[in-house]
Amino acid sequence: MSHKLKYSGQVDTMSDEQTDKALRFINKCRYCILGTINTEDGVHLSILTTLEKQELKELWYITRTSTQKVVDIRNNPRCEVLYTDNDNQITLNGTAEIVTEPILKKMLSNVWVKKYIPEGPESDEMSLIKFIPEKIDAVIV
């Protein structure tokens, strides 16, 4: 069985072709799983909606400010993101930060915000997660 992409290593050393294949898979996934570290319970997993047109060096997500993942990221920015389907997976390790910049919130606001944060992007209840991946493990068949 040949793989379209099998790669394990640093994100910044990937070839353009490897990056392109990884991005095509990420951008086709509707959801991903974010793993943060919770000081009380250990690893905390959350489902996030994938925003359109992501870039591998900087991934963005929308969340409610009052969630456990926001608390976890503020306490420890190290986290992991998993994209998967029936046959393929990409795991990214890196750091995240919570962004509340109003212009960015409005720019990245989408249908998910209208459904789950009816107060809209102007609300303090909407935050962005900016994830900077450092390491990647990818198998895309």
pLDDT at 119: 87
Q: Assign 3-class secondary structure to 59-82.
A: EEEEEECCCHHHHHHHHCCEEEEE
**Two structure tokens written together for 11:** 């994100």
Other CB atoms within 10 A of residue 32 CB: 21
b/e string for 48-64 if b means 16 or more Cβ within 10 A? bbbbeebebeebbbbbe
The list of the chain residues with pLDDT below 50 reads: 1
pLDDT at 2: 55
pLDDT at 130: 97
Coil, strand or helix at 71: helix
pLDDT at 26: 95
**Two structure tokens written together for 88:** 């393929």
Report pLDDT digits (tens) over 27-39.
999 999 999 998 8
